[in-house]
Structure 1
Amino acid sequence: MKRPPLPHDHSRRIVHDLTWTIGPFVLACALAIALVVWLIDPAPPRSITISAGQTDSSLHQIAREYAKILARNGITLNVLPSDGSVQNLERLLDPKAHVDLALVQGGIASREQASSLMSLGSVAYVPIVVFYRGKGLTLLSQLEGKRVAIGREGSGTRVLSLKLLEANGIAPGGSTQLLPTDGLQAATQLVSNEADAVFLSGDSATRALMLRLLKVPGISVMDFNEARAYTRLFPYLDDIELPPGVLDLGRRIPPETVHLISPTVELVARPSLHPALSDLLIEAAQEVNGTAGILQRAGQFPSPVAHEFPISEDASRYYRSGKSFLYRTLPFWLANVADRALVLLLPVAVLIFPALRLVPALYRWRVRSRIYRYYGALIALERGAMHLSSDDERRALLVELDYIEESLNTLKLPLAYIDALYVLREHISFVRSRLVTSTTKDSRIVSMSK
């Protein structure tokens, strides 16, 4: 009879059972965590880049202020100078530019370009202010055939000015001479009669420059009486006002309310921007852009009102409910670690709760399966005893039974399963007694026959 494959060294069996029972569960948890880290990438980068305006522009100064605030939380904001909003948008759309966000004026992006980016909110007005020689100008169409400074090439002022003029029937190549100048240079051309009208916006339309132009005899500022119509035709425009005296209270300049149209500067980012950094940037914008000015009330910016770019879900959540509890109560990096831990624990918890019921059952099955192997060998031996034809075969079965019992003597089980071990010993003794009794009876029968 072939000897059953029973082990004689059980010294490491308990550790082996625990390893093969808990090991797959631990491996599954590790794979779940690795998958979450790979898919969600919860760790925010410590350095990001923003494309701002020229080094002497207000947009560049705003970005520098953002950088100071983010530095408090250990985030480095690299401020990249640019020629203006057009180049800022181009950098955001170019994967090779390695720019994470930018300050972009409304009115320069196509619908397709805007859909591939996201906005963290509007942070400032950049109104279009039209100064002209003479009086009584109420429509942009009245500039037909005149010399008009509409901003330098690549500027957001030029892009928006061309759109507004085109809506009023004035296009490049016609009778109207479109001059590529802005700011102080355009104002100088207007004063020296080298231009009939100028479009000023953003840094060009400073309070000081507007006051200087309004003090020059023969120069007026256009009142956009149709401002509401412009906001309907161009959704990225707002209708704003210059109240009487807002530029100079003592001299009441302007003497009457001046209606203006204005796009906003939006803080635009790529969709890959980390949510924690989105919160920090909006918080910085509230500190930098939330003060009152001649064009805005305190707390008006940053604003979640959608203009040209869709507001991100993270920004909408921040404007609706503010920072989460962790970020309100803990330092940024500690809150981030806690937030990441929660994100990682969720998929692990999905595995843990079923495993709490599955692991004990799996361990119990592994322990009992070792005992069942002995029962299998014992049953095979007992069946062999039913077909004995000689004493040599019977003695061979007793040797096999000794082998089973010898292996069993080295078996180590947890205390909770010791009862099964003693039951097995009783069954081995039962089989042995049957073999011995059968041997004795056979001997008596042989003696009597002699």
Structure 2
Amino acid sequence: MRHHRPRPPSFQGEHSHADLRDLTLTFAPIAVFVVLVITLVIWLVDPAPPHTIVMSAGPHDSSFLQAANEYKKILARNGITLKVLESDGSLQNLQRLLDPKQHVDVALVQGGVTDGLGASSLMSLGSVFYDPIVVFYRGSGITQLAQLEGKRIAVGREGSGTRVLALNLLAANGIVPGQNTTLLPADGLEAATKLVSGDADAAILNGDSATRALMLRLLRVPGISVMDFEEASAYTRLFPYLDEIDLPPGVLDLRHKIPNDTIHLISPTVEIIARTRLHPAISDLLIEAAQEIHGMPGLLQHAGQFPSPIQHEYPISDDAQRYYKTGKSFLYRNLPFWLASVGDRTLVLLLPVAVLLFPAMRLVPALYRWRVRSRIYRNYGSLIAIEREALKDPSQAQRDALVEELDQIEDSLNSLRMPLAYADAFYVLREHVGFVRSRLVQGNA
């Protein structure tokens, strides 16, 4: 009878290497998964604010361009470069925002110039100042635009926001191009000159063309009057982008009390319009800059009236609404912009990491135990098969073959790397191997 002397297991002090290897192979898939999720979050959310944005402003020497340059200075304090583009006015600004090839992020846009453009993909950061409509005419007693029918009216140059707005208001009063009313493509000083010289019967001025200086000059010309919008409230109901404002007596010239009486005007507001992908931190900076630039009292507004989150044609962005309610976040309120940006990005990344890591930390021990014990348990299948064969009263040759299989199992166990914490399961398996061997030996006796 062949006697087998079991060899002792050769741990050889490698239990620490086994632990490290098992831990590495257990943690690696989870770590790869977490890294992929973080990468996906960075790619989709893009939490880093851009260092450069582009604003479409207005014509040279316009109030739009002057305001944009003020924004440029304020954003530069926080390390953000604002590229300011000159334009023909609100209509071109809106077209640039809607054209993805233009790469314009924000623009100053006067209300009432959408003119059928699909602006639903844009959002507003709030209104920042009034752009009043002032109608001057020859004669006196006119209080309705409908009374200008049949006359020569300067309505603004082709393609300008003033013209779009003027045509909409005239159309609401039954005055449309192609009828007996002559609509002249002139605005600003040119329109005022035509009115004074008698080449126009009325001039619709808007925004930069309705400056304090120009209004004073026209009101001092004999025979020139300014229209009092007695139906201002109706206009604000019919055109949601319009507000009613008043010029109180003496506001243009207090010494000479110009105007003599309160003049009711209607006015669209100029809004900061942006694409929906504008970063929240940049949105906060722009609104903060707007408070500094437009928050002072003026000819047409009270202190603190602008910027305003009142919705007109464009929805107020969620980030803007949050800013108007609570101001800047804690990080941006107490840290420099670049440092707050890093902290904000870190918080954005920590959320998905925490959501993934907490379940993973509970899963890892179970995976580790399964991996280590599977090395032991996979030998039990072979051991059970050998025992079943031993119970069938095999021949001597078959018994010798089964003993060789047991030897192979035991050899594999002797070379098995096993953490010391699981040595009990290891030795239980060796006992079972010895038990099956004894049955083979007893059957052979």
Task: State how 1:77-116 maps to structure 2 within 5 Å.
Answer: 77-110=82-115, 113-116=118-121
Secondary structure, aligned partner of 1:24: helix
Structure-1 residue corresponding to 2:316: 311
Q: 1:326 to 1:295 in 2, by over 3 A?
A: same
Secondary structure, aligned partner of 2:259: coil
Q: What's the CA shift for 1:399?
A: 4.1
State the alpha-carbon separation in 2 of the partners of residues 399 and 84 from structure 1: 93
Structure-2 residue corresponding to 1:376: 381
Which amino acid counterpart does residue 153 of structure 1 have in structure 2?
Answer: E
Structure-2 residue corresponding to 1:424: 429
Structure-2 residue corresponding to 1:196: 201
TM-score normalised according to structure 1 size: 0.90
Which amino acid counterpart does residue 21 of structure 1 have in structure 2?
Answer: T
User: Paired residue for 1:160, among 158, 162, 165?
Assistant: 165
Structure-2 residue corresponding to 1:239: 244
State the alpha-carbon separation in 2 of the partners of residues 301 and 353 from structure 1: 46
Task: State how 1:390-401 maps to structure 2 within 5 Å.
Answer: 391=396, 393-401=398-406
Q: What's the CA shift for 1:410?
A: 2.5
Considering only aligned residues, what root-mean-square deviation do their CA atoms show, in Å?
A: 2.3
Q: In terms of mean alpha carbon deviation, does 405-414 or 119-128 score higher?
A: 405-414
Q: What's the CA shift for 1:9?
A: 10
Structure-2 residue corresponding to 1:34: 39
Secondary structure, aligned partner of 2:119: helix
Q: What's the CA shift for 1:400?
A: 3.7
Which amino acid counterpart does residue 379 of structure 2 have in structure 1?
Answer: Y
Structure-2 residue corresponding to 1:336: 341
Secondary structure, aligned partner of 1:55: coil
Which amino acid counterpart does residue 208 of structure 2 have in structure 1?
Answer: D
State the alpha-carbon separation in 1 of the partners of residues 115 and 308 from structure 2: 21
Which amino acid counterpart does residue 332 of structure 2 have in structure 1?
Answer: Y
Q: What's the CA shift for 1:151?
A: 1.3
The total of aligned residue pairs comes to: 434
Q: In terms of mean alpha carbon deviation, does 73-82 or 324-333 score higher?
A: 324-333
- Residue 283, structure 1, aligned to residue 303, structure 2: no
Structure-1 residue corresponding to 2:79: 74
Q: 1:389 to 1:306 in 2, by over 3 A?
A: closer
Secondary structure, aligned partner of 1:161: helix
State the alpha-carbon separation in 1 of the partners of residues 175 and 107 from structure 2: 31
- Residue 209, structure 1, aligned to residue 214, structure 2: yes
State the alpha-carbon separation in 1 of the partners of residues 349 and 128 from structure 2: 34
- Residue 356, structure 1, aligned to residue 352, structure 2: no
Q: Deviations over 1:203-251 (max 9, x none)?
A: 1111111112112222221111111011111111100001111111122
**8 Å contact kept, 1:120–1:269:** yes
Gaps of 5+ in 1: 1-7, 443-450
State the alpha-carbon separation in 1 of the partners of residues 373 and 290 from structure 2: 66
**8 Å contact kept, 2:11–2:418:** no
State the alpha-carbon separation in 2 of the partners of residues 308 and 404 from structure 1: 80
**8 Å contact kept, 2:18–2:419:** no
Secondary structure, aligned partner of 2:153: strand
**8 Å contact kept, 1:114–1:310:** no
State the alpha-carbon separation in 2 of the partners of residues 399 and 227 from structure 1: 105
Q: In terms of mean alpha carbon deviation, does 287-296 or 331-340 score higher?
A: 331-340
State the alpha-carbon separation in 2 of the partners of residues 259 and 73 from structure 1: 41
Structure-2 residue corresponding to 1:184: 189
User: Paired residue for 1:18, among 23, 26, 49?
Assistant: 23
Structure-1 residue corresponding to 2:326: 321
Secondary structure, aligned partner of 1:377: helix
Q: What's the CA shift for 1:394?
A: 4.3
State the alpha-carbon separation in 1 of the partners of residues 185 and 337 from structure 2: 46
Q: Deviations over 1:384-432 (max 9, x none)?
A: 3334555555455444434333322222222321221222233333344
Q: Deviations over 1:238-275 (max 9, x none)?
A: 00001111111122211211110000111111112122
Secondary structure, aligned partner of 1:361: helix
Which contiguous aligned blocks of 4+ residues in structure 1 show a shift greater than 6 angstroms? 8-12
Q: 1:82 to 1:190 in 2, by over 3 A?
A: same
State the alpha-carbon separation in 1 of the partners of residues 64 and 322 from structure 2: 26
State the alpha-carbon separation in 2 of the partners of residues 165 and 182 from structure 1: 16
Secondary structure, aligned partner of 2:159: coil
Q: In terms of mean alpha carbon deviation, does 16-25 or 170-179 score higher?
A: 16-25
Q: 1:67 to 1:42 in 2, by over 3 A?
A: same
Q: What's the CA shift for 1:306?
A: 0.7
Gaps of 5+ in 2: 1-9
